[in-house]
Structure 1
Amino acid sequence: MEQTEGARRNPLSPGRILHTAVALADEGGIDSVSMRKLAQELGVVPMALYKHIANKDELLDGMIDVVVSEIDPPGAGLDWKTAVRQRILSARRALLCHTWASRVIESRTTPTPAVLAYMDSMIGMLLSGGLSVDLTHHVMHALGSRILGFSQELFTPSASVDPREAATAVRAMSGTYPHLAKVAARVDHDEGAVVGPGCDDQFEFEFALDLLLDGIEALRVRRWSSHSSQQAAP
């Protein structure tokens, strides 16, 4: 028998499959999601899934699109900087609800339809805000993954460290790396941080985002272009 009685009452669809896969990833991480486990959760045999989802890559792409669909639409009646900031922070909230999603986004070689639509919408907001096509092109590079709510950090994630051990480590490296030690000793504590032990992830994300947006606004006001910048270079 291909389906259970419950599955027949609630037939398969791409949407149902993808939302179930997202729930599985939220519960056990992306590595816990397999076509077999997904079929078991849905009460069908694995082959039934392939009538709707061609393969694991298509499944992952669809899961990304589910997450991106949770990002708020552009705010109305706002200046470009406020509107872009709010939208990026909405994207960050979506990714914080699905902590596996940034890893999957980074693994994709081609943007999904929902990601492309989101990027197109963001570019439209920048252009409507008075940024030139040239400046907008460079802004998208500068924002990078931050436009989707996460950033690729200089420091890799590390396990929770005892504060006394951390202090000892800072003292030990102060002789060889005095400037690094000086900064490492001044932290705002956030035990779950991904940017480094003690860093406040949300603060660091918004701090960098605001630096970028303020700088972009200054360039917009100056009517900056990469062409004129290159001509002025020595």
Structure 2
Amino acid sequence: MVRPAPEQNSGGATAGEPKRPRRIPLNRERVLRAAVALADETGLDGVSMRRLAQHLGVVPMALYKHVADKEELLDGMVDLVVAEFTAPAADSGWRESVRQYVLSARQVVLRHPWARAAIETRTRRTPIVLAYMDAVTGLFLAGGFSADLTHHVMHALGNRIWGFSPELFDESGGDAGPPPDPQAQAAAIAEFGRHYPHILRIATVATGGDLSGVGQGCDEQFEFEFALDLLLDGAGRLHDRGWNSRAPKGSGSAR
């Protein structure tokens, strides 16, 4: 007597056998998104090809079919971050449009704290990065800025277009350790002030003169927006005066 062949389900397993979970195909986007998630969790130093492979449940060699090396991986991670920036409303003026775009970049970079270091180390501009730079440049040109003034304003904005700026004071705090003795801290700051009175004077503005509050960090969001507004206001005044870099030194248009 011939027995019928075991019935198979669509997944290739015989009837009664448990279905094997279907493996999600690996592709470039999945690799990059996993790398971003890993960086969000561990920081940029925690991202390696081996660790990413473990995170995805594959062998490290499988990653190299989608990214050539660690540098290309970082380029792709930055691309995903930049793709999160929100373009401004079409009916905004040049100043508000640039402000909205840059503050959107800042919100994204604050969500991905590792992104600042990644952006600063990139030596190659990818198409996505170039498209964002081109869009910000285009907002000034559409606002009537000359190419000459726009060139210099983009230099002045610098890394602020990516949502961060170089800090004059170290706000990182690092490994703070146990809190210092308040009396010893006040004495140390007072001694510092005897040598560098002007720095101490501006440092205590935010603390109302309280020496124990010095070094606790400024409101970084306020400082970022203050600098951005200062630059945009200055750029607007130069634009209104018809400024150009080739005007003779001392002429009205170059001041």
Q: Is TM > 0.5 for Structure 1 vs Structure 2?
A: yes
Q: Does 1:175 align with 2:197?
A: no
How far apart, CA to CA, are the structure 1 residues paired with 2:181 and 2:202? 16
Q: Does 1:81 align with 2:95?
A: yes
Q: Decide which of 130, 141, 145 is 2:159's aligned counterpart.
A: 145
Deviation at 1:230, TM superposition (A): 3.7
Q: Decide which of 235, 240, 252 is 1:216's aligned counterpart.
A: 235
CA RMSD, Structure 1 to Structure 2 (Å) = 2.0
My pick for the range that moved more, 156-165 or 135-144, is 156-165
Q: Could you say which residue in structure 2 is the equivalent of 1:126?
A: 140
User: 1:22-50: per-residue Cα shift (whole Å, max 9, x none)?
Assistant: 00000000010111111111111110110
Deviation at 1:183, TM superposition (A): 1.1
User: Does the C-alpha gap of structure 1 residues 78 and 46 become closer, same or farther in structure 2, counting only changes over 3 Å?
Assistant: same
How far apart, CA to CA, are the structure 2 residues paired with 1:222 and 1:162? 52
Residue pair 1:167, 1:185 contacting (<8 A) in 2 also: no
Q: Decide which of 51, 64, 86 is 2:78's aligned counterpart.
A: 64
Q: Could you say which residue in structure 2 is the equivalent of 1:158?
A: 173
User: 1:103-137: per-residue Cα shift (whole Å, max 9, x none)?
Assistant: 11111112222211100011111100111000000
How far apart, CA to CA, are the structure 2 residues paired with 1:134 and 1:33? 41
Q: Which has the higher contact order (CA 8 A, sep 6+)?
A: 1
User: Does the C-alpha gap of structure 1 residues 200 and 67 become closer, same or farther in structure 2, counting only changes over 3 Å?
Assistant: same
Residue pair 1:188, 1:200 contacting (<8 A) in 2 also: no
Moved over 6 A (4+): none
How far apart, CA to CA, are the structure 1 residues paired with 2:227 and 2:33? 32
Deviation at 1:92, TM superposition (A): 0.1
The one-letter code of the counterpart of 1:101 is A
Q: Which runs of 5+ in 1 are unaligned?
A: 190-195
Residue pair 1:170, 1:184 contacting (<8 A) in 2 also: no
User: Does the C-alpha gap of structure 1 residues 74 and 15 become closer, same or farther in structure 2, counting only changes over 3 Å?
Assistant: same
Q: Does 1:116 align with 2:130?
A: yes
Residue 197 of structure 1 aligns to a residue in which SS?
Answer: coil
Residue pair 1:126, 1:136 contacting (<8 A) in 2 also: yes
Q: Could you say which residue in structure 2 is the equivalent of 1:25?
A: 39
User: 1:28-81: per-residue Cα shift (whole Å, max 9, x none)?
Assistant: 000101111111111111101101110000000000000000000232101100
How far apart, CA to CA, are the structure 1 residues paired with 2:180 and 2:99? 35
Q: Decide which of 199, 214, 220 is 1:201's aligned counterpart.
A: 220
Higher share in helix: 1
User: Does the C-alpha gap of structure 1 residues 179 and 231 become closer, same or farther in structure 2, counting only changes over 3 Å?
Assistant: closer
Q: Which has the larger radius of gyration?
A: 2
The one-letter code of the counterpart of 2:173 is S
The one-letter code of the counterpart of 1:209 is L
Q: Could you say which residue in structure 2 is the equivalent of 1:193?
A: none
User: Matched residues, percent identical?
Assistant: 56
Q: Give the aligned length.
A: 222
Q: Decide which of 56, 60, 75 is 1:46's aligned counterpart.
A: 60
Residue 153 of structure 1 aligns to a residue in which SS?
Answer: coil
